[in-house]
Amino acid sequence: MKVFVTGASGFIGSAVVKELMAAGHRVTGLARSEDSAKAIEGAGAEVLRGSLEDLEALQKGALWADGVIHTAFIHDFTQYTKAAEVDKAAINAIGEVLKETEKPFVVTAGILGPPKIGGYVTEESKSPHGPRGSEAAALALAAKGVHTSVIRLPPSVHGKGDKGFIPFIIGQAKKNGVSAYPLDGNNHWPAVHRLDAAKLFRLAIEKPKQGALYNAIGDKGIPLKRIAELIGKKLDLPVVSVSDEKIAQHFEWMAGFIGFDSPATALQTQQQLGWEPTGIGLLQDMDENYF
């Protein structure tokens, strides 16, 4: 199968590329820089030069492929609204050339935000007005006949080389001299190892189901206080609760995300795709690899 992957040199996308190629698929990755192109070529994949805003390149890649996996996102959270708009435009551009085909299109979304059912965000939890907008855009395409599915990633997709939320929280602890958590710290964040996430992307494109929502969940939900306590222990820093304006002061741009309580399950995902996460949990990964 020929698979076009956006974000192919990124933390998650590079793992997806390796997973696909190990399963015998032919991969072309989108590269916006020379360094990205070298990384993709080094993994044994082909390269299509272009950026997430280069809609013509995105459509070219989609037309070439038998299926598309979209993992790219502009991770400038100080301009989140703009990044979300670029993401939505990219999804719609790819979807436009996939109409009236049976090519599977797997889109990345987030687990934070959808309502809980029985105490957890499940595959039945819908978020039509989520901040990122990728899930809504993908489902709108599915309603028009595009063979689109969605993989919801937790706030921490962890592993060696992680540059996401957890490393930022660690950096803020070093910067401010305390390891902080919001309010009582009992809000829960789910997590998944990046290699488990990569396997899920492969399964989703190999076993396509139009309009499907998949939850990429390893740890169902870790209290933020436990994460802060581990950081404090590893860095020998005091662990403190922060509230009101101090949340914004300590967590900066991340203040809008840090308070989410989104424990999640992946029971339907596991049943439908035969996916089983096997990687170590977030706290063990942090303890062994993040300091």
Of the pLDDT bands very low, low, confident and very high (cuts 50, 70, 90), residue 74 is: confident
Tell me the average pLDDT across 48-76.
Answer: 94
Which structure tokens are listed for 197?
Answer: 């996430």
Query: What is the structure's pLDDT at 131?
Result: 62
Query: What is the structure's pLDDT at 129?
Result: 62
pTM exceeds 0.75? yes
Which structure tokens are listed for 58?
Answer: 């995105």
The CATH number of 2-157+191-218+262-278 is 3.40.50.720
Please list, in sequence order, all residues whose beta carbon lies within 8 angstroms of the beta carbon of residue 112, skipping any fewer than 6 positions away: 154, 155, 257, 260, 262
pLDDT single digits (tens) 104-124: 999 999 998 889 999 999 999
Name which of 222, 244, 231, 252 is nearest 180 in CA terms. 231
pLDDT single digits (tens) 170-209: 999 999 999 999 999 999 999 999 999 999 999 999 999 9
Which structure tokens are listed for 195?
Answer: 């290699």
Check: CB of residue 98 under 8 Å from CB of residue 105.
Answer: yes
Residues 12, 79: Cα–Cα separation, whole Å: 21
* Domain boundaries of the chain, sorted by first residue: 2-157+191-218+262-278
pLDDT single digits (tens) 223-266: 999 999 999 999 999 999 999 999 999 999 999 889 999 999 99
Q: In this structure, is the dihedral angle defined by the CA atoms of residues 188, 193, 194 and 200, taken in order, positive or negative?
A: negative
Query: What is the structure's pLDDT at 84?
Result: 86
Query: What is the structure's pLDDT at 275?
Result: 98
Q: Could you please report the per-residue DSSP string of 267-290?
A: HHHHHHH-----SPPHHHHHHHH-
Whole-number Cα distances in Å, 255 to 169, 171, 242, 278: 11, 14, 11, 31
